């Protein structure tokens, strides 16, 4: 018997909702409208679980495919970017808004300094080659 194929389908609705459909072997198993403002909440939960599951696999010495093998990155052009105080010590929060949804990433100030210097250097030298 072949492994089941799971597909994620994400789309937009005229009322501003985000439609999430999950299917396995062509059969829809989840069909869920998500309010626009909750989209980042779902994304943040998935990203946090991905981080934790990789740490657990490494801790348990489970085989993990190397980065790049089967890994895909999706680029998104946010509606807005801001920097806000973090609840974590020595961190600030980089916030990306997409529609009415926001996701924040806590970064250590040393990372922010590196990011800022890199952005300044990029604007001085032109686009990446």
Structural domain includes residue 69: yes
Locate tokens 């009415």: which residue?
100
113-119 long-range contacts, CB within 8 A, separation 24+:
none
Structural domain includes residue 13: no
DSSP state of 127: S
Structural domain includes residue 5: no
- Domain coverage including residue 61: 35-124
Structural domain includes residue 15: no
Structural domain includes residue 48: yes
Structural domain includes residue 20: no
pLDDT at position 1, please? 42
Local structure of 56: helix, strand or coil = helix
Structural domain includes residue 30: no
Structural domain includes residue 53: yes
Closest CA to 93 of 109, 103, 78, 104: 104
Number of domains the chain is built from: 1
Per-residue pLDDT of the chain (129 residues; tens, 9 = 90+): 445 688 889 999 888 899 999 999 889 999 999 998 899 989 999 899 988 988 998 899 988 777 766 667 788 999 999 999 999 999 999 999 998 999 999 999 999 999 999 889 888 876 665
Q: Are 16 and 26 in contact (CB under 8 A)?
A: no
CA angle 77, 105, 79 (to 5 degrees): 25
């Amino acid at each position: 018997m072949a492994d089941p194929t799971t597909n994620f389908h994400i789309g937009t609705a005229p009322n501003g909702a985000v439609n999430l459909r999950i299917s396995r072997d062509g059969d829809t198993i989840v069909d869920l409208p998500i309010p626009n403002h909750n989209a980042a909440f779902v994304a943040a939960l998935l990203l946090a679980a991905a981080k934790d599951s990789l740490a657990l696999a490494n801790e348990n010495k489970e085989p993990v495919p190397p980065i790049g093998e089967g890994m895909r990155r999706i680029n998104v052009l946010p509606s807005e970017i801001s920097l806000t105080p973090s609840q974590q010590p020595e961190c600030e929060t980089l916030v990306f808004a997409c529609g009415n949804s926001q996701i924040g990433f806590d970064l250590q100030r040393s990372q922010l300094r590196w990011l800022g210097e890199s952005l300044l250097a990029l604007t001085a030298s032109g686009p990446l080659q």
